[in-house]
């Protein structure tokens, strides 16, 4: 499309009219993401810039927090008193129930995955809704689900989680009851159960992958994935001897946080810059990555750099294992890297970049299924070809 045409000169002239937003950030020597307060990021104030709120939140949770950033964050909170009061008001009784607020309150916990927060929020919608018929309830659910999804169009697991929730909870077998209240309670039961299962998914995945980690192995991980961390934590706690190579994971440098956590568990960790992956690949026995979304072809969408690592691993015959919960299965089929909703995340290079120089700010990439060996999900250990099978059965 327009990305590949030589008319980038024209495009450049157009985008030159909107660069002033970037300049103040470029000149500040910040090593980490820009100083949005938490409330700001969650409302996604820059939909036209496609700055991905999902990646901002992840960075906020897991990236390196420096003194500068903290000061900026404090200043930002001081600047917007309305935002901070907004989040407290949500808990006051009498305010109309807002699914976004519920979602935000769940999302504050860094341990909880975004899709699980959305599922819990939607379950709360069912509980609090005032509808008296099934159709009304369904319409209200659909509305809430749409508003959650539109809050951040770049997050795949959020969209997939909401869609799956709608599928599970409103399947016709649950609606064969005469009386609305029992149907509603059954729906609530199913919704809570789905929330439970999603929460426990990480434990199940950790149990399944224990067999694949043997004593004396070297594991390469990329960025900070909570599922992969759970896997490694379980292995370390069962006294397995292994070492981990951890990539830095620019631009949010979440790999540094992961290496901290692993060092606390007494696991030998070696930190690599992203470019050193090929250099160290022959010492590696297996690659473990998480996923932001698992697409229909069996490939994954994950933090920028995953595709590179998978290519190198494949060319050196090292297995690439993906740990992903089942609610991340999405009905997408990207044919190449540019085929997804762009999710941009501003990169700070530490020095001011002249405005004539373009920066590739995409936060994620797509890894095709032929470079992946196995997926560990709460449905079991799957090969990439099983994913489309599962999705078809669900949506048929």
Partner 1 sequence: MPGTQTLVNELVTKLKKRRVEGSQETALLTAELLRSVISQLKVPPTNQAETLIEAVKTVGELLVAANPVELAVGNIVRRVLHIIRDEDFSVATSSAGGDDRETAEENGFRVQTVAAGPPSRSPSLHAILDRTPDSERAHHSSRDGDSFEGKGKSADRNAESWKLKHDVIRAVNELIEDINSCHEQIAEQSVELIHQNEILLTFGRSRTVREFLCAAKEKRRSFRVFVAEGAPKYQGHALAKDLGARGLQTTVITDSAVFAMISRVNKVVVGVHAVMANGGVIGPVGLNMVALAARKHAVPFVVVAGPHKLCPLYPQNPQVLLNEMRCPSELLQDGEFSDCMGVCNGSGNPLLNVVNPAFDYVPPELVSLFITDIGGYNPSFVHRLIADYYSADDLDLQKRTTS
Tokens 């099934």 sit on residue: 134
CB of 159 to partner 1, least distance (A): 16
- Chain residues in the site for partner 1 (CB under 8 A): 164, 167-168, 173, 190, 193-194, 197, 211-212, 214, 326, 329, 374, 378-383, 385-386, 389-391, 393-394
Q: 7 or 173, CB closer to partner 1? A: 173
Q: How far is the CB of 383 from partner 1 (least distance, A)?
A: 5
137 vs 375, which CB is nearer to partner 1? 375
CB of 334 to partner 1, least distance (A): 20
Q: How far is CA 362 from CA 49, 230, 281, 304, in A?
A: 12, 27, 25, 7
CA–CA separation, 11 and 259 (whole Å)? 41
The minimum distance between CB 26 and partner 1, in angstroms, equals 45
The closest of 217, 218, 208, 129 to 169, measured between CA atoms, is 129
Shorter beta-carbon distance to partner 1: residue 65 or 381: 381
Q: How far apart are CA 266 and CA 239, in angstroms?
A: 10
Decide if 191 contacts 126 (C-beta within 8 A).
Answer: yes
289 phi and psi, to 5 degrees? -130, 160
Shortest spacing between CB 149 and partner 1, in angstroms: 20
As measured in angstroms, the least distance from the Cβ of 165 to partner 1 is: 11
Rounded to a whole number of angstroms, the minimum distance from the CB of residue 220 to partner 1 is: 16
Nearer of residues 320 and 374 to partner 1, judged by Cβ: 374
Q: How far apart are CA 121 and CA 195, in angstroms?
A: 10
| β-pair type (380-382, 374-377) | antiparallel
Q: How far is the CB of 355 from partner 1 (least distance, A)?
A: 47
- What beta strand segments (E) does 184-299 contain? 217-221, 242-247, 269-272, 286-289, 293-294
- Are 169 and 119 spatial neighbours (Cβ–Cβ below 8 Å)? no
Distance in angstroms (rounded) separating the CA atoms of residues 74 and 72? 5
User: Rounded to the nearest 5 degrees, what angle is found at the Cα of 371, between the Cα atoms of 316 and 260?
Assistant: 75
Nearer to partner 1, 16 or 389 (CB): 389
Considering the complex, state which of residue 23 and residue 383 has its C-beta at the smaller distance from partner 1.
Answer: 383
**Helices 114-128 and 99-107 meet at what angle, rounded to 10?**
140
**Cβ closest to partner 1, residue 54 vs residue 321:** 321
196 vs 339, which CB is nearer to partner 1?
Answer: 196
């Amino acid at each position: 499309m327009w990305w590949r045409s030589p008319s980038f000169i024209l495009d450049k002239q157009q985008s030159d009219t909107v660069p002033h937003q970037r300049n103040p950030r470029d000149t500040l020597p910040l090593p980490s993401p820009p100083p949005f307060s938490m409330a700001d990021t969650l409302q996604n104030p820059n939909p036209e810039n496609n700055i991905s709120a999902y990646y901002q939140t992840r960075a906020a949770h897991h990236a390196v927090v420096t003194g500068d950033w903290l000061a900026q964050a404090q200043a930002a909170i001081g600047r917007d008193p309305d935002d901070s009061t907004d989040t407290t008001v949500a808990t006051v009784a009498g305010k109309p129930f807002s699914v976004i607020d519920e979602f935000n309150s769940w999302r504050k916990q860094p341990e909880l995955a975004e899709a699980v927060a959305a599922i819990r929020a939607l379950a709360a919608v069912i509980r609090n809704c005032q509808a008296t018929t099934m159709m009304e309830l369904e319409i209200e659910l659909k509305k809430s689900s749409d508003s959650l999804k539109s809050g951040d169009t770049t997050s795949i697991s959020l969209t997939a989680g909401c869609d799956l929730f709608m599928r599970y909870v409103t399947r016709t077998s649950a609606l064969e009851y005469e009386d609305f209240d029992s149907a509603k309670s059954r729906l609530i039961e199913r919704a809570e159960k789905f929330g439970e299962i999603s929460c426990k998914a990480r434990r199940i995945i950790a149990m399944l992958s224990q067999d694949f980690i043997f004593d004396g192995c070297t594991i390469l991980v990329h960025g900070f994935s909570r599922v992969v961390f759970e896997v490694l934590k379980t292995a370390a706690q069962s006294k397995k001897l292994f070492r981990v190579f951890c990539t830095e994971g620019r631009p949010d440098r979440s790999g540094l946080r992961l290496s901290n956590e692993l060092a606390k568990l007494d696991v030998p960790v070696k930190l690599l810059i992203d470019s050193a992956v090929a250099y160290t690949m022959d010492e590696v026995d297996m690659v473990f990555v998480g996923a932001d979304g698992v697409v229909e072809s069996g490939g994954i969408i994950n933090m920028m750099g995953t595709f590179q690592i998978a290519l190198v691993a494949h060319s050196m015959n090292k297995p690439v294992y993906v740990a992903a919960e089942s609610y991340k299965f999405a009905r997408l089929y990207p044919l190449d890297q540019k085929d997804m909703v762009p999710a941009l995340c501003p990169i700070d290079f530490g020095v001011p970049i002249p405005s004539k120089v373009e920066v590739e700010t995409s936060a994620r990439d797509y890894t095709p299924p032929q470079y992946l060996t196995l997926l560990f999900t709460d449905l079991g250990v799957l090969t990439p070809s099983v994913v489309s099978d599962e999705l078809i059965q669900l949506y048929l």
